[in-house]
Amino acid sequence: MDRTATAAKKILVTGAGGFIAGHLVKALQSQGHRIRAVDIKPLGEWYQTLPDAENLVMDLREKQNCYRAVEGCEETFNLAADMGGMGFIETHKAACMLSVLINTHLLMAAKDNGVKRYFYSSSACVYNAEKQTDPRNPGLRESDAYPALAEDGYGWEKLFSERMCRHFREDFGLVTRVARYHNVYGPYGTYDGGREKAPAAICRKVIEARRSGKREIVIWGDGEQTRSFMYIDDCIKGTLDIMNSGIEEPINLGSSEMVSINRLVDIVEEIAGVRLQRKYDPEAPKGVRGRNSENSLIRKCLNWEPSTPLRIGMRKTFEWIEGEIGKR
């Protein structure tokens, strides 16, 4: 059932000071909804602050804050988590696990306050690591999350929180929707500081190398590990479509255009018009060997899948990051 044309609603978006949720707030506002945007970061550190939203700074690991956040809201999009790229999640496992408090307390608050629909942003990190040892990964189907062998820390938190959503739906009748995001990138996101993911990190490294004249780049691992990367516009469309659908089980939301990290560097070099000497760091965090999104289910359920070509999305991302670095 398509619910996108329904009347304006009061909607809670958590993690709103971050990358994906900031774009989501903007999209929901454009549909005429009233948004309560919540993040733990001070407002001055939010990537996007929408003036017409009710912008609140709260730590949603605290139960009472979750109840305050959902009060009066018909729907909740939970995108709040303590997370980052591979360099962060491999070295902050406990911090990532503590995000389970956010989803636990929000689900309780949503149930008790009569929230009609609840969206949870999960991750491809829930997938069994033994199915991700080959760079030529054929694509991870939703069933490949079990038997469970998720990314230590962050992936286990996501998988456990998926199960909580399922059981709140089955036991309490709360309508829950879960999307497994695959490596989202685009403007208005983290590109330095240690939490950035590969597309933004590579853009920054190439820009800095070109500006400094030191024509070299450090690549984590051997660069042959593979991933698929989804542009933010596709992520937002998929998020809204999944929320408004009848899809009850977790579903992939990611591009199926798989590339190696070396090829991703090629693309950014071509955008920047430079060629850099590559230095490889085999001791750096590098994650699984191969990961890709298998999109049969989302095509079947929604007659759609993320489709922005990587080169186009990376050019937009590169130009935004270049502009931000230039402002400094």
Lookup: tokens for 128:
């069994």
pLDDT at 215 over 90: yes
SS3 (DSSP) at 186: coil
8 Å CB contact between 148 and 132: no
Per-residue model confidence as pLDDT tens digits over 123-177:
999 999 999 999 999 999 999 999 999 999 999 999 999 999 999 999 999 999 9
**Which two structure tokens, joined as six digits, stand for 276?**
């850099």
Residue that the structure tokens 């307390």 belong to: 105
Q: What is the DSSP letter of 7?
A: P
Instruction: Judge whether 112 and 172 are in contact, CB under 8 Å.
Output: no
Fold of 10-185+231-254+302-308: Rossmann fold (3.40.50)
Report residue 133: phi and psi, to 5°: -95, -10
User: Is 251 within 8 Å of 298 (Cβ atoms)?
Assistant: yes
Q: Going by C-beta distance under 8 Å and a sequence separation of 6 or more, which residues neighbour residue 32?
A: 8
Give the residue among 206, 207, 203 at the shortest CA–CA distance from 191.
Answer: 203
Tell whether the model's pLDDT for residue 228 goes beyond 60: yes
Domain boundaries, the chain: 10-185+231-254+302-308
Report field, pTM of the whole predicted structure over 0.75: yes
Q: Catalytic amino acids?
A: 154
39, pLDDT greater than 60: yes
With CA atoms as reference, report the closest residue to 35 among 56, 60, 10. Answer: 10
